[in-house]
Amino acid sequence: MNQYILNIWKASSKQKKKKPIPIIPIVIYHGKEKWYHQPLRSYFENLEKDLLRYFPEFDFHLINLTTISDRQITNFRNKFLAFSALLFKHSSFKKYIKKIEDNLVELLKLIDNQENNPFSVSVILYIQNTDALKITEIISIFTKFSKNLNDVL
């Protein structure tokens, strides 16, 4: 995370901005294990207190998708974010798309209605790489919402 922050500051300095922009790190967690938030210094054993001041220390905002219900996620105001969060939350389960298909189809209908939306291609590729579904099953789901599926494929 420290590297991401440094990269953003480096890029902004190349754009000749006088001061670095403030960054609030956000971590979106969707793993199976319980999340344990630990400061960087906790990964080093037996550090003397005098050395601790030389370690970068910053906090981040944690969004733990495993603790948010599918219904709450579906109700996110930003439907692209809702759809992405559902995909992330369930991506570690086999054939997860079949389990959450109804929610996804409703969200995809809202997203697909936007003009010039390249989102469908990304979603198909993501699902193809994270789910055990065959491409014909994925296409079957997408034809339930997309008016532009032929353009996507």
* 23-33 CB burial, b ≥16 within 10 A, e <16: eeeeeebbeee
**Whether the predicted model's global pTM rises above the 0.85 cut:** no
Per-residue model confidence (pLDDT) at position 60: 87
> Across-strand partners of 6?
none
Mean pLDDT of 67-81: 89
Between 87 and 143, the more confident residue is 87
- 153 pLDDT exceeds 60? no
Question: pLDDT class for 68, splitting at 50, 70, 90?
Answer: very high
Q: CA angle 9-14-15, nearest 5°?
A: 95
Mean pLDDT of 63-71: 91
Q: What are the DSSP calls for 25-76, one per residue? A: -EEEE--SSPP----GGGGSSS--HHHHTTS-----EEEEGGGS-HHHHHT-
82 CB neighbour count, 10 Å cutoff: 22
Closest-CA residue to 107 (of 75, 137, 153): 75
Per-residue model confidence (pLDDT) at position 72: 94
Convert the pLDDT of each residue in 46-60 to its tens digit.
Answer: 888 888 888 888 888
Per-residue model confidence (pLDDT) at position 93: 74
**Domain definitions of the chain by residue range:** 1-67, 70-153
